[in-house]
Amino acid sequence: MSLETVSTNKSFGGRQGVYKHASTATGTDMTFSVYVPPHEDGAKLPLLWYLSGLTCTHANVTEKGEFRQACAEHGVIFVAPDTSPRGDDVPDEDAYDFGKGAGFYVDATEEPWRANYRMRSYIEDELPALIAAELPMADMGRQAITGHSMGGHGALTIALRNAGRFRSVSAFAPIAAPLQCPWGEKALTGYLGADRKEWRQYDACALIDDGATVPEILVDQGLADNFLTEQLKPELLEQACERAQIDLTLRRQPGYDHSYYFISTFLGEHIAWHAERLKG
């Protein structure tokens, strides 16, 4: 795979890069960002995946997340992919919650989405292989994953489906139960069709109820989030984890909304939490 460097900038002693490559999973060019903290030659560093939410690209967290100081302090590589395929020939819909910017980290099976909307394969398989090939300092045996909103849904479901790959998983205001909220019902119907059994592999609560597990989960949720009641439903994740005896730390944060002001406030704490579990 050929990797094109879009930009690089020094930050906190490390290097923030933005890169583009031709994806076989999506059939399009894909752009992602990577922050590599300062390190000694030959060092191997753990990495944290960050999956973004609806309407976002790699740029939202890269420019607003305020994560680099914490990554430099703890020696963690930070990888931020895009949320969907891009390009003039990629099918789209005139809506913020479906189509471009709203890939929901699924492999679509319905037309016309199935050719390009393969974000599950891209995140689970193609991009990790590219990172392993292009970043010799990346220790692929020490990975963690987090994400926001739709990306929180992605982080939870990817970790639950890939037992043992990630040493830790966290989320910010995740869409906890896509089978039971308007965003999820719209996206999963459009990408996967009407058979709700096929949706379960993309719902954290359903995966847990079906036997998938991780040792522990950290979630931050703002209580002033206008999507809290209708779309996010963290109480359903809380109940599923209780049934499965998964150690969930759900921190309800008074006054915080759904924005990057919220994420940037607590992202450093998440990085420190992941770093502790990525040691050794």
Alpha-carbon span 138 to 144, nearest angstrom: 12
Contact yes or no for 153/176 (Cβ under 8 A): yes
Residue spans of beta strands (DSSP E) within 132-175: 138-147, 166-172
Catalytic positions are 149, 225, 258
For residue 2, what are the contacts with CB-CB under 8 A and spacing of at least 6?
Answer: 21, 22
Task: Report the SS3 class of residue 239.
Answer: helix
Contact yes or no for 160/145 (Cβ under 8 A): no
Tell me the backbone φ, ψ of residue 208, rounded to 5 degrees.
-65, -45
Alpha-carbon span 118 to 127, nearest angstrom: 12
For residue 226, what are the contacts with CB-CB under 8 A and spacing of at least 6?
Answer: 257, 258
